[in-house]
Amino acid sequence: MGDSTVALSRSRELRDAHTPASWSRRRLIASALAAIALANLAVIVRLWLHTGGISAVHSSADALTSAGRLTALIGAYLALIAVLLLARVPVLEDLVGFGRLTAWHRQAARACLALLLAHAALTTAGLSLGDDVTLPREVARLITQYPGVITAAAALVVLVAVGVTSAAVARRRLSYESWYFVHLYSYLAIALAFSHQLATGKDFVGDPAARTYWTALYAVVFGALVGFRVAVPLVRDARHRLRVVRVMEETPTAVTIEITGRRLERLRVRPGQFFLWRFLQHDRWWQAHPFSLSAPPDGRRLRITVKDAGDFTATLRRLNPGTRVLAEGPFGAFTAGARTKPRLALIAGGAGIAPIRALLETIPGAPGDIALIYRASRPEEILFRDELDELGRIRDAQLHYCVGENRDLSAETIERLVPDIAERDVFVCGPPAMVEATVTSLRVAGVPRRRIVTERFGF
């Protein structure tokens, strides 16, 4: 633990960066980004009005098709917003954190899918009514006579499949690898939808300004996607040359991986954050998985600890020293920067102890200010027991190991272990169900939601 003093000093510097001036600047940037998003939405509605969105409505059929065009335009815009939210744009990550961006991405994606389904239904119904034919005949006519409709239909089917696999029930049944592979097709669906927009959209055909505007929107979003998710990791690889240096078994179901490289002190990473790691072995190079640092960065190494949870994680114990690594990040707001109170509680479940352990070593706090509750199903699943005990002694922190099959921490249990829990900041990390249950218990125990910082281990 010889680096603890240095790490504590670094955390104090990070905490001092969150000044009123810093927050004012962040609010200004957030307001500017929101204004840009709303301005683009206004432009899209204006383009719809320009092509007769309301003025050209003279019948029920016109009203249906015009509404269908508007839902398509806003749906396409939300698709771009959803992609941009997870394009790893640094300014967005710094403003709200990866967790909130992911939540917003899901909301935008759901709204996008609902609007595109409404577009298909409204447009088909409107054209069927205007042509005075049955819906099946109208569908057949659209597919056979309108260029781009068949590709649009394929894109919609793909997006529905992505939406279905994103549902909570489906996610529990799918491996991360399957879920990730299905989601890659959403990019193809968006590209197909754009070709449909240009080929048949009334707002694009014969309107060079609209075509230029939408082409610029797609170019900016996909430029950001390629730049921050492909180019930046490749540049970082050239700069830092990350390599696996050691793989150590922590428990029968968890391994710790140490990664080294060049000029690691230049990585702007804080304890509690995570990277998306891509280990360049022959059968897994195409997959990127999120893992938090399980020890503070010290300029010489990065350490992650991974629990077996699927095909990918099970293979990591067989990584060979020297394996090259690509890393996207760092991401996450589960850091000392979220601290608002002098005293705090750290609550971990399972492998969620990884970022908690890094925070325990570094987060500012006087002796007795920090309490740790670690939930595990069995004694053999407790990670870092010796390290945690040593850190608890050095930091004069309260450590509570809760072991047993009942995974929920009730409000009564939490209050018994940490009687002044309502006066503390609380950091919670673990599987999604455990985090949700713990947050509910904390709210019952009187902890305001604004003082609960969470990180979920799951997809």
**8 A C-beta contact, residue 293 and residue 303:** yes
Kindly report the average pLDDT of the chain as a whole number: 85
Lowest mean pLDDT among 13-17, 28-32, 386-390: 13-17
Lowest mean pLDDT among 6-10, 247-251, 318-322, 336-340: 6-10
Residue 9: pLDDT band with limits 50, 70, 90: very low
> Which residue type sits at 411?
A
97, 105, 109, 107: which is closest to 329 by C-alpha?
Answer: 97
Number of other residues whose CB lies within 10 A of the CB of residue 313: 18
User: When comparing pLDDT for 22 and 191, which is higher?
Assistant: 191
pLDDT at 308 over 80: no
pLDDT (0 to 100) of residue 289: 83
Domain boundaries, the chain: 19-235, 241-331, 338-456
β-strand 289-292 against 274-279: which pairing, if any? antiparallel
Residue 25: pLDDT band with limits 50, 70, 90: confident
Q: What is the mean pLDDT of residues 4-22?
A: 40
pLDDT at 176 over 50: yes
Residue 8: pLDDT band with limits 50, 70, 90: very low
Rounded-to-integer distance, Cα 49 and Cα 51, Å: 5
HSE at residue 314, side-chain half, CA atoms within 13 A, is 6
pLDDT (0 to 100) of residue 10: 36
Please enumerate in sequence order all residues whose Cβ is within 8 A of that of 398, keeping only pairs 6 or more positions apart, or say none: 368, 370, 371, 372, 392, 417, 418
Q: What is the mean pLDDT of residues 22-49?
A: 87
Q: What is the mean pLDDT of residues 40-50?
A: 90
N-to-C CA span, the chain: 33
Number of helices and strands in the chain (H, E): 16, 11
User: When comparing pLDDT for 395 and 7, which is higher?
Assistant: 395
pLDDT by residue (tens digit) across 322-334? 999 998 888 888 8
DSSP 313-369: HHHGGGPPTT-BEEEEEEE-S-SGGG--SSSEEEEEEGGGHHHHHHHHHHS---TT-
HSE at residue 47, side-chain half, CA atoms within 13 A, is 26
Q: What is the mean pLDDT of residues 138-152?
A: 80
83, 81, 72: which is closest to 40 by C-alpha?
Answer: 81
**8 A C-beta contact, residue 99 and residue 74:** no
pLDDT (0 to 100) of residue 11: 38
pLDDT at 13 over 90: no
Percent of the chain residues past pLDDT 90, beyond the cut? 41
pLDDT (0 to 100) of residue 281: 79
Residue 186: pLDDT band with limits 50, 70, 90: confident
Lowest mean pLDDT among 196-205, 250-259, 343-352, 378-387: 196-205
User: When comparing pLDDT for 168 and 194, which is higher?
Assistant: 194
pLDDT at 3 over 60: no
Residue carrying structure tokens 């048949």: 200
Residue 37: pLDDT band with limits 50, 70, 90: very high
pLDDT (0 to 100) of residue 5: 32
- Looking at domain 241-331, does it have CATH number 2.40.30.10? yes
Rounded-to-integer distance, Cα 251 and Cα 292, Å: 18
Strand runs (DSSP E) across 208-365, as ranges?
243-251, 254-260, 274-279, 289-292, 302-307, 325-331, 344-349
Sheet holding 302-307, edge to edge: 243-251, 254-260, 302-307
Q: What is the mean pLDDT of residues 180-206?
A: 76
pLDDT (0 to 100) of residue 23: 64
The CATH-assigned architecture of domain 338-456 is: 3-Layer(aba) Sandwich (3.40)
pLDDT by residue (tens digit) across 196-252? 777 666 666 667 888 889 989 999 999 999 999 889 888 888 999 999 999 998 888
pLDDT (0 to 100) of residue 381: 85
pLDDT by residue (tens digit) across 95-139? 877 778 888 999 999 999 999 999 999 989 998 988 888 888 888
DSSP secondary-structure letter at 403?
E
**8 A C-beta contact, residue 274 and residue 291:** yes
Q: What is the mean pLDDT of residues 295-300?
A: 90
